[in-house]
Amino acid sequence: MDDCLFCRIVAGEIPSDKVYEDEYVLVFKDIDPQAPVHVLIIPKKHYDNVLSVPADDDIMGKINEAVRIVAEKCGVDKTGFRVITNCGEDAGQSVKHLHFHLMGGRVLTWPAG
């Protein structure tokens, strides 16, 4: 989508600090990190949010592969980390392109706010 910030990052029109990329998924550092490790895992294809993924679509499996690779790459696979997707207004989803925050590198409090 032309007016979508993360589609523009996928297209290379807006720069990002890339951590991992494959055919389906892009991972880059959050511009406003809330933890020592805070990256965004996004599908290259546009989905508005987690409710927009069809049941027979395998993108969630591709995302999970990226989680494993990036957690290891960022050195949090042993210490622990959190994967969060905000969906809709009450969750505070600010970018309407499906994305997963992977956060770690410190002790994370629970419950999330």
Residues lying near ligand 5GP in the complex (CB under 6 A) = 5, 14, 16, 28-32, 40, 86, 92-95
* Alpha-carbon separation of residue 81 from 34, 54, 87 (angstroms): 13, 27, 20
The H-or-E segment that residue 25 falls in is strand 25-29
For residue 16, the partner it binds in Zn ion, ligand 5GP, none, with Cβ less than 5 to 8 A by kind, is: ligand 5GP
Active site annotation includes 99: yes
- Is the Cβ of residue 51 or residue 107 nearer to Zn ion in the bound state? 51
| Strand ranges of the sheet holding 100-104, from the earlier edge strand across to the other edge | 18-21, 25-29, 37-43, 100-104, 81-84
Which is nearer to ligand 5GP, 5 or 59 (by Cβ)? 5
Q: Which does 46 bind (CB under 5 to 8 A by kind): ligand 5GP, Zn ion, none?
A: Zn ion
Which C-beta is closer to ligand 5GP: that of 38 or that of 76? Answer: 38
- Contact residues for Zn ion (CB under 5 A)? 1, 4, 6-7, 46, 97
CA–CA gap between residue 62 and residue 47 (Å, rounded) = 14
